[in-house]
Copies of this chain bind each other. A is one copy, B any other.
Amino acid sequence: MPGPVQSIERAAAILRLLARGSGRLGVGEIAASLELAKGTAHGILRTLQGVGFVEQDRATGKYQLGAALLHLGSSYLDVNELRSRALNWADALAARSGEAVRIGTPLEGSVLVVHHVFRPDDTLQTLEVGALLPLHATALGKVLLAYDADLAARVQRGPLESFTRRTLVTAPALTRALAAVRDAGWAADVEECVPGEAGIAAPIRSSGGLVVGAIGISGAVERLCGARSRPDATLAGHVRDAARAVSRDLGAAR
């Protein structure tokens, strides 16, 4: 692997830092976080500012992410094959299930939401496209983990963050859950990420059979689950059908 360009890696690190750290950061803070000389960080920031990837608050001198990134992000959506193939099926699934639909793909130890259909006939909901969800505490994430041993191993090495009292926080519990997912062909989470919310998801496979994403529904526990908090089998069937349809589309394209 010849020459990973370090200035670009550093620039990317700065962008990620700005994305994580909610809000504006100063040159000093950035330099300290990344263990760079202040001057170095400044030079990179100026360049990023020049290309529109970061903006500077004239008043405070602090930096934040720039508008050009928004356009690049949305351009990614245009190109993303998983998303474009899944668009129609996601709408259909939302209509049939009456719940919000999300499509996720793995990104750096998280689930990246690449598509989101609001729950039909309902109130204000915030768009989650571009958001990162935890792998071990969502139905989407568990699907991705179940079919990617490598990813699963990496996640289990680190600590499993707890979001509610039902989050799976031990490696053995997660391993068992993933085995169950492989067995059933779909995954569920019941209040493991957000109290009162549940999700059901199934894998999307590309032509080679490789799992490249997941599609699932999420909503209130009462609607998604029957007695004893068991996910509704009919809904799970709809999710699986949608996932199969998308997979077929993806495979057929090649």
Using CB atoms and an 8 Å cutoff, list the residues of chain A in contact with chain B.
1-5, 7-9, 11-13, 15-16, 18-19, 22-24, 43-44, 46-48, 50-53, 59, 64-80, 91, 105, 107-108, 112, 114, 124, 127, 129-132, 254
In the complex, the 6 A-B pairs of residues with the closest C-beta atoms, listed nearest first: A73-B73, A74-B130, A19-B75, A12-B51, A65-B76, A5-B47
CB distance from A173 to the nearest CB of B (A): 28
Q: List 10 A-B contacts (CB under 8 A).
A: A3-B47, A4-B46, A5-B11, A12-B53, A18-B75, A68-B108, A69-B75, A70-B77, A72-B72, A74-B129
Do A19 and B71 touch (CB < 8 A)?
Answer: yes
CB distance from A38 to the nearest CB of B (A): 13
Looking across the interface, which residue of chain B has its beta carbon closest to that of A2? B43
Do B2 and A70 touch (CB < 8 A)?
Answer: no
A7 to B114, CA, bound (A): 29
CB distance from A238 to the nearest CB of B (A): 20
CB distance from A197 to the nearest CB of B (A): 20
A65 to B127, CA, bound (A): 21
A12 to B54, CA, bound (A): 12
Q: Which residues of B contact A19 (CB under 8 A)?
A: 71-72, 75
Looking across the interface, which residue of chain B has its beta carbon closest to that of A79? B64
Q: Given A75-B65, A108-B52, check contact A70 B129 (CB 8 Å).
A: yes
Q: Which residues of B contact A53 (CB under 8 A)?
A: 12
A19 to B16, CA, bound (A): 20
Q: Which residues of B contact A77 (CB under 8 A)?
A: 70, 130
CB distance from A196 to the nearest CB of B (A): 23
A114 to B66, CA, bound (A): 12
Give me 11 other A-B pairs in contact (C-beta within 8 A), A52-B107, A69-B76 excluded.
A2-B43, A7-B8, A9-B51, A22-B79, A52-B108, A69-B69, A70-B129, A71-B112, A71-B131, A73-B130, A77-B130
CB distance from A68 to the nearest CB of B (A): 6
A11 to B107, CA, bound (A): 21
Do A9 and B47 touch (CB < 8 A)?
Answer: yes
Q: Which residues of B contact A23 (CB under 8 A)?
A: 79
Q: Which residues of B contact A68 (CB under 8 A)?
A: 12, 16, 107-108
